[in-house]
Structure 1
Amino acid sequence: MLRLGFTLLLGLALLVSPAGFAVPFWGDEQSSPVDSPLDRLPPGAWIWGGDDKRAGPMAVVVSLAEQRAYVYRNGILIGVSTISSGRPGYETPTGVFTVLQKDKDHRSNLYGNAPMPYQQRLTWDGVALHAGGLPGYPESHGCVHLPTEFARLLFDASNLGMTVVVTQEGQAPVSLVHPGPLSPIDAHTGADVGMPQLASGSSWRWAMDPPAEGPISMVMSRSDRMIVVYRNGVEIGRSRVELARSGTVTGTRAYIVEGHFHPPTSQQSAHANAGRNTRPLPMPTWIAIGVPGYESAAGQRVPADLVNQVVVPDGFKQKVLPLLAPGTVLVATDAHLAPETSGGRLRVIDSVGPRGWLDDVATEPDVGADH
């Protein structure tokens, strides 16, 4: 009896000890629709448009002023989450960080063995991204708390060395404090890239020395009538676009180039541009991605009439077409590309492409964490 009683007591002790506590689940279980107004996301809400590690470098911008985290892949927004940062006396430090360590089942060395699931360490003295409490205001001991499922998705998508920039009002440019559809930072260095505009009188531009390799992603703003092209996390071109019939498709839509498309060669493009090729250049077929809120569109081909709605200058088209390959993504959004301070609607992408367009073209030391 004594042995049985001791065994029962030991079992109870294990159940009530910190190590025996079940790990809480914080925040929403599923993503909110991609067009949810960001300033109305309740504590624990988040948006994840989807991800593919092959799509380019990832970076995170944490806005302490907004209490939100923005995740970018290859320059394009793929996720947004509400957060809880450090409370007074334990303020989350600002600056440029990289992920130093990842631990899916981490527990705190300083705060009662408290669970810190999906930890991604930013400093060796204890600051990290991880799942945690989300009361709607700063309440951590310095870490950035995320909803559990969002933290899991980010943990699975990221790599050691991923750039994380933490910003605060008055200490960083508006584009970093209130991020938008385009990444305001260099994914490799964390430096502010600003929001370069087209020169006066110019309808498009292309980088003088763009990266020779890497995945292509694009974002088109219907409001700005502008499309921006990224390669390997670097903006390589942008152009004004014309929309033949505005309002036909609205909201944030994501597209991807179908698998059997063969991009035109540079020689074909040069001949066409010089008028020596009467045959039209091959155009990709865009397939819709079922982002949250538009799941029913997943796998649908974009009709040719929608593709032909978006028109870009011929010179820009000749630059872009040879780069479009299966897996190229494009996001079409109603949001403005410049940073907004009002929250606004989400502009998330992932693996996408706009609706139509390239026809004419188309047109759219290993220590534990502190808390």
Structure 2
Amino acid sequence: MGKHRKQSHLGRTAGVAAAMAAVGAGTLLGGPSALAAPATAPAPAAPAGDAQLVDGTPCTVTAKACVDLASHQAWLISGGKVIGGPVPMMPGSADEPTPVGTFSVLWKDKNHVSKEFAGAKMPNSVFFTKGGVAFHEGSLKNFSAGCVHLSMTDSRSFYDYLKVGDQVQVHDES
């Protein structure tokens, strides 16, 4: 699994609060809506009790970003309602899976460059695990090393909308 680390960089987190102001256009706001009825989320990702699910997703109303590994889809959520998605995404491979669970956005880097993968560019990175798993622009045809790949437009929308501390839920509804 990817182990990207935050590096000291002047201005890296500047403008995080302002990033909430816009959600990008494109497929994020007008994706297909034909989804199966939401199912109860699996244990470590689902909060205990009778948590309310967001319509059309496997995630609860506390999530700001939702990922379903089985369907290769992701959503942005505000106030318990979908505001973006579903959008296509590509998760980690069987050997380097995207972790399932409930996480918080830890840090963001608009122009992240991977030290682990020979300087690979990872635009619009939103990191949500201490191990370096992030949403970022990447291939929608090839599995990642654990990150959640999004299209260029969708990665911008996730980067612009999510802020440090926001909840990310990753489910595998297979």
What TM bracket, shorter-length normalisation? 0.5 to 0.7
> Does the Cα contact within 8 Å between 2:29 and 2:83 map onto a contact in 1?
no
Match in the other structure for 2:69: 64
Going from structure 1 to structure 2, the CA distance change for 1:33 and 1:75 (only over 3 Å counts) comes to closer
Going from structure 1 to structure 2, the CA distance change for 1:95 and 1:58 (only over 3 Å counts) comes to closer
Deviations 1:177-235 (A, max 9, x none): xxxxxxxxxxxxxxxxxxxxxxxxxxxxxxxxxxxxxxxxxxxxxxxxxxxxxxxxxxx
- How far, CA to CA, are the matches of 1:88 and 1:71 in structure 2? 25
SS of the equivalent of 1:150 reads helix
Match in the other structure for 1:100: 106
Question: How many residue pairs were aligned?
Answer: 123
Tell me which amino acid in the other structure corresponds to 1:31: T
- How far, CA to CA, are the matches of 1:33 and 1:108 in structure 2? 29
> Does the Cα contact within 8 Å between 2:63 and 2:169 map onto a contact in 1?
no
Instruction: Indicate the structure (1 or 2) with the bigger Cα radius of gyration.
Output: 1
Higher helix share: 1
Going from structure 1 to structure 2, the CA distance change for 1:116 and 1:38 (only over 3 Å counts) comes to farther
CA RMSD after TM alignment: 2.1
Q: 2:163 aligned with 1:167, yes or no?
A: no
Match in the other structure for 1:151: 155
Deviations 1:118-153 (A, max 9, x none): 101111222111111101xx6100000011111111
- How far, CA to CA, are the matches of 1:122 and 1:132 in structure 2? 16
- How far, CA to CA, are the matches of 1:32 and 1:156 in structure 2? 12
Q: Which runs of 4+ in 1 moved over 2 A?
A: 29-39
- How far, CA to CA, are the matches of 2:27 and 2:173 in structure 1? 27
SS of the equivalent of 2:90 reads coil
Task: Give me the TM-score of the superposition, normalised by structure 1.
Answer: 0.31
Q: Relative contact order, CA 8 A, sep 6+: which one is greater? A: 2
Q: Percent identity?
A: 33
Going from structure 1 to structure 2, the CA distance change for 1:103 and 1:72 (only over 3 Å counts) comes to same
Task: Give me the TM-score of the superposition, normalised by structure 2.
Answer: 0.64
Q: 2:28 aligned with 1:36, yes or no?
A: no
Deviations 1:75-100 (A, max 9, x none): 11011110000012001110001010
Counterpart of 1:85 (choices 91, 108, 130) is 91
Q: Structure 1: give runs of 5+ residues left out of the alignment.
A: 1-28, 40-56, 171-371
* Mapping 1:1-371, distance limit 5 Å: 30-31=26-27, 34=30, 36-38=32-34, 59-80=64-85, 81-135=87-141, 139-169=143-173
> Does the Cα contact within 8 Å between 1:59 and 1:73 map onto a contact in 2?
yes
Deviations 1:44-94 (A, max 9, x none): xxxxxxxxxxxxx86111000110001111111011110000012001110
Going from structure 1 to structure 2, the CA distance change for 1:123 and 1:32 (only over 3 Å counts) comes to closer
User: How big is the shift at 1:157?
Assistant: 1.5
> Does the Cα contact within 8 Å between 2:111 and 2:121 map onto a contact in 1?
yes
SS of the equivalent of 1:69 reads strand
> Does the Cα contact within 8 Å between 2:29 and 2:84 map onto a contact in 1?
no
Going from structure 1 to structure 2, the CA distance change for 1:35 and 1:155 (only over 3 Å counts) comes to closer
> Does the Cα contact within 8 Å between 2:127 and 2:133 map onto a contact in 1?
yes
Going from structure 1 to structure 2, the CA distance change for 1:35 and 1:143 (only over 3 Å counts) comes to closer
